[in-house]
Structure 1
């Protein structure tokens, strides 16, 4: 299979930016993220939000949230994980992105941003056909959302340097084996520059 990188334009009227889980409790300073540090992921996402809002494109800031933890999934797994802690403000969008007016903040209760939310409704009512996707984690929230979007028929552009995972291997595996099959992989600068 050959990678083809064609020149492209993203129409601001039919393209949305969807940012996954860049919130205080997940994108905290000092968190180890690969291959890009969390500060770079936030900075690149910030540049995307700025470009999209300036062009009047739809921006969705997705956060995972819960009232009391009872609406969160609790499957039986081989990996033992500690019960999550929900300190005050953990589910608030990071300040760098929260400052923008006119963005749509969406709360989800699982990895993907489509299941159990009104994201598909919000996009379709605005005539959105393409989403630019970024956030944390490449291999969990971004990947699950991307697979859901693929099954719903959206074209996708992945802003590769505005996302990260727990390891470089996780990030690269998802980008090379999944994202390249269901969309186009670009830098955040390329995605922003192609928006018309």
Structure 2
């Protein structure tokens, strides 16, 4: 296993979709409350160490949503609640955080995430959030293509099923970066 080495001057935390409308859904293998707890620990540590925190959330509306033909989609019963895209209170929103609003799964396409990371001299990102195989993986694939080093906080992310989560973690993320626990990441930066 590659040693985890995090440079505090060039590493940012990217938190994917920990917003009220998404974090309220049931997740596996880690319960959403555990993902939130671990992500909150990471955001607190990054903020304490003056390391950038990027909070990413979906802000699409019925008018701006992607309208692709597919065999299946996410089901939504009724209208989206007005606070659906608000960040969960456990994560909060510090004045130093950079907020990225997206309209699709990944946090890079159609946003200024890459620009904001590069302007701050970031070459490494720590990723967490919900869902592992949607928002996190889509963001990770772009980050890999852009040449960012990546660390995945395995217990600070989850999906709709354990199988979906494990597929991304074991077959995708381990080829694009380092998969570690929240405790292992915190031990290096605290």
TM-score w.r.t. length of structure 2: 0.95
What are the within-5 Å matches in structure 2 for residues 179-194 of structure 1?
Answer: 179-194=173-188
The residue aligned with 1:96 is 90
Runs of 4+ displaced beyond 4 Å: 80-84
SS of aligned partner of 1:9 = coil
Aligned-pair CA distance for 1:192 = 1.9
Question: Quick one: distance in 2 between partners of 1:176 and 1:100?
Answer: 33
What are the within-5 Å matches in structure 2 for residues 72-87 of structure 1?
Answer: 72-79=65-72, 81-82=74-75, 85-87=79-81
Is 1:119 aligned to residue 113 of structure 2?
yes
Question: Quick one: distance in 2 between partners of 1:79 and 1:194?
Answer: 41
Question: Quick one: distance in 2 between partners of 1:81 and 1:127?
Answer: 36
SS of aligned partner of 1:160 = strand
TM-score w.r.t. length of structure 1: 0.92
Whether the 8 Å contact between 2:57 and 2:100 is mirrored in structure 1 is yes
- Aligned-pair Cα RMSD in Å: 1.4
Which stretches in structure 1 are left out of the alignment for 5+ residues? none
CA change 1:81–1:45 in 2 (3 A) is closer
Whether the 8 Å contact between 1:52 and 1:192 is mirrored in structure 2 is no
The residue aligned with 1:37 is 31
SS of aligned partner of 1:26 = helix
Question: Quick one: distance in 2 between partners of 1:18 and 1:161?
Answer: 15
The residue aligned with 2:122 is 128
Q: Report how many residues are paired.
A: 189
